[in-house]
Amino acid sequence: MPATIFDSAVFRNVYTTEAMRTVFSDESRVQKYLDFEAGLAKAQARLGIIPKVAADEIARHCSVENIDMAKLKDATERIGAPVLPVVKQLIALCKDDLGEWCHWGATTQDVTDTATVLQIKEALELLEREINGICDALAALAKKYRDTPMAGRSKLQQAVPISFGYKMATMLAAFERHKQRLAELKPRVLVGEFGGAAGTLSSLGKDGLKVQGELMKELKLGRPAITWHTVRDTFAEVGCFLGLVTGSCGKIALDVKLMMQTEVQEVAEPSAEDRGSSSTMPQKRNPISSVYVSTQTALVRQFVAALLEAQVEDHERGSGPWEIEWIVLPEIFMLSAGALSQTRFMLEGLQVNAKKMRENLDITNGLIMSEAVMMGLGKAMGRDTAHHHVSDIVKQTVKTGRPLIELLAEDKEIARHADRKKLEELMDPANYLGVAGEMVDRVLAMRK
């Protein structure tokens, strides 16, 4: 009976995706063990280290369908790791004792680590597609709403106007950086492992590095400069990368939740029948995807901390921290897949209320434009003088509730430097977007 959120018949495709669950399934992991064994046998046969007939026989049986998973479970519980039980079953499948050439010169960690790298390779391909989709969605929003004014917010208070396109472009820039990070880390992370008992390949004599090179060609992985059995920075790096990526998803989710508030109503998640409905309040339309993303990203950060703990390994083969990776790496990838999928869905169907954005700029009776007025008057009055003068008038707006434009227009000192028409120009949010549009264009232009 399923016991975790990832295997639940109800939640399984809410917090992760079917494709990512498949990558980290028992069957996928065992198949990658077998891919290693087949690749090793073929590599060694080419080098004349084992008979070709043995390599052919070994490779012929390297399919997960040939493995008795119930026997594997029982043997793993006795032995402590699944690689040896898989190898034993593989040897038994081979005829004429040819299976005795299986696993020649390898050790359990070689197989386990390389299988994990192969899983990471597949998983990153899935995540890369989601990242690209998110970039496309953000780019479309940034372009469409390049000049749509809205309130920029500082410490949850209205600050100065920005454009919604600018807001989306800031996140697009982050995800474009994530694409760069991914491209940079792949050559470091997608490197196989083959070092033997203590990493020196001593069981293969002078042929060790030749076998290692041929094996990595078979598996289409990078070749390590030196064995990394207890040096785990690459796995930690991919975990930290996913912490960064999902952190950006969490940022988007938080802003969407805040902008969906009844009092704000500037955006809404994609709609569908009953989506976000309440069991008791008919009027409610709750955020859904952004809530899931907030949960997923928080957990990723916790699991990344555990993955960093797994770096602290003893000597040449560890006595425990390694197994942390077995638990948290799949969790990190599955949660990341869910977060990216939900973020992409949310952005691709995001409902933008430009009218409400404009209305929200007016709720402070013009106070959001006080900096614009101060800077505009500062050219004639001096910045500091203008700042103090406008500040006094702002206090009157707060006290009386009268629009800032009215009080400014009545002020005799200000009237010496700006008439009503000039003040209205200064008070128009569309005239105080700075270079937001140009920044949006720069981000869109940097896309590959």
Of 129-138, 262-271, 359-368, 372-381, the least confident: 372-381
Greater pLDDT, 155 or 278: 155
Average pLDDT over residues 302-309: 96
**How far is CA 260 from each of CA 257, 265, 290, 412, rounded to the nearest angstrom?**
5, 5, 10, 42
- CATH of region 18-104: 1.10.275.10
Pairing assessment for the beta strands 351-352 and 157-163 based on DSSP bridges = unpaired
pLDDT in tens, 12-37: 889 999 999 999 999 999 999 999 99
* 3 — pLDDT class (breaks 50, 70, 90): confident
Query: What's the whole-model pTM score?
Result: 0.94
Above pLDDT 70, what percent of the chain?
97
CA distance 114 to 109: 8
- For residue 415, which phi and psi values (nearest 5 degrees)? -60, -25
Q: Hunting for tokens 């040449």 — which residue is that? A: 316
Q: Round the average pLDDT of the chain to a whole number and report it.
A: 94
CA distance 98 to 89: 13
CB 250 within 8 Å of CB 343: no
Domain boundaries, the chain: 18-104, 107-202+220-362+435-448, 367-426
pLDDT in tens, 387-417: 888 888 889 889 999 988 888 888 888 878 8
Angle at 354 (CA atoms; ends 350, 357), nearest 5 degrees: 110
Q: Residue 87 above 70 pLDDT?
A: yes
DSSP-derived letter for residue 162 is: E
CA distance 195 to 230: 11
CB 83 within 8 Å of CB 8: no
DSSP states of 24-61? TSHHHHHHHHHHHHHHHHHHHHHTTSS-HHHHHHHHHT
- For residue 180, which phi and psi values (nearest 5 degrees)? -65, -45
Q: Which amino acid is at 290?
A: S
Q: Residue 54 above 90 pLDDT?
A: yes
Q: Residue 283 above 70 pLDDT?
A: no
Q: What is the pLDDT of residue 278?
A: 60
CA distance 59 to 54: 9
How many alpha carbons lie under 13 Å from residue 40 in its C-beta half-sphere?
29
Residue 157 burial (10 A CB sphere; 0-12, 13-18, 19+): exposed
DSSP-derived letter for residue 269 is: P
Which residues participate in catalysis according to the annotation?
Answer: 278, 317
Q: What is the pLDDT of residue 130?
A: 98
Instruction: Return the structure tokens found at 27.
Output: 């069957």
Phi/psi-derived region of residue 257, left when phi > 0, alpha when psi is between -120 and 50, beta in every other case: alpha
Average pLDDT over residues 325-329: 95
- CATH of region 367-426: 1.10.40.30
Q: What is the pLDDT of residue 276?
A: 62
Q: Residue 277 above 70 pLDDT?
A: no
Q: Residue 279 above 70 pLDDT?
A: no
Q: What is the pLDDT of residue 281?
A: 66
| CATH architecture of the domain with range 107-202+220-362+435-448 | Up-down Bundle (1.20)
**How far is CA 19 from each of CA 35, 119, 125, 360, rounded to the nearest angstrom?**
20, 12, 11, 42
* 122 — pLDDT class (breaks 50, 70, 90): very high
pLDDT in tens, 248-275: 999 999 999 999 999 999 999 998 776 6
Q: Residue 282 above 70 pLDDT?
A: no
